[in-house]
């Protein structure tokens, strides 16, 4: 148990569906992140939130829409996705907004997304 909880763990959706991924951290951290992990590719940073404010958008397509209502919760809203968006989506948190560079990132177990 890392203190970062992601739901759902598995999601299958069609290209016209709208769904959301949820992340909650119980560590009192101020920064939260979304990463994408595709098969045989490195982890790709998608979004960074620091004190609820988005500080990084790594050229992510608009069909992915993040939301951070408070420092403990992070959502990723999904709309009209493509099959190539199928991947493991990982949420992470860190005490400060240093991108996790100066200290460890705490990851959730991920949401495995399949787009049909």
Task: Give the footprint of another protein on this chain (CB under 8 A).
Answer: 2, 4, 40-43, 45, 48, 56, 88, 90, 92, 97-110, 112
Q: Shortest CA distance to 33 belongs to which of 96, 102, 112, 115?
A: 96
Smallest gap from Cβ 51 to another protein, in A, equals 14
Smallest gap from Cβ 18 to another protein, in A, equals 25
Nearer of residues 12 and 15 to another protein, judged by Cβ: 12
**Is 79 within 8 Å of 58 (Cβ atoms)?**
no
Smallest gap from Cβ 110 to another protein, in A, equals 5
Q: Shortest CA distance to 92 belongs to which of 79, 104, 74, 105?
A: 105
Query: CA 108 to CA 35: how far, in whole Å?
Result: 11
Question: Vertex 114, ends 35 and 44: CA angle to 5°?
Answer: 20
Nearer of residues 10 and 16 to another protein, judged by Cβ: 10
CA dist 20 to 35, 63, 76, 92, Å?
15, 11, 6, 16
Smallest gap from Cβ 83 to another protein, in A, equals 20
Nearer of residues 13 and 45 to another protein, judged by Cβ: 45
Nearer of residues 39 and 62 to another protein, judged by Cβ: 39
């Amino acid at each position: 148990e890392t203190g970062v909880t992601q739901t759902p763990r598995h999601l299958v959706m069609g290209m016209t569906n709208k769904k959301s991924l949820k992340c909650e951290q119980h560590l009192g951290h101020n920064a939260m992140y979304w990463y994408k992990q595709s098969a045989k590719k490195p982890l790709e940073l998608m979004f960074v939130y620091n004190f609820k404010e988005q500080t990084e958008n790594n050229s992510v397509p608009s069909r992915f829409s993040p939301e951070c209502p408070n420092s403990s919760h992070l959502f990723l809203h999904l709309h009209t996705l493509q099959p190539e968006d199928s991947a493991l989506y990982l949420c992470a948190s860190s005490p400060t907004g240093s991108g996790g560079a100066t200290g460890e990132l705490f990851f959730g177990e991920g949401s495995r997304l399949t787009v049909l």
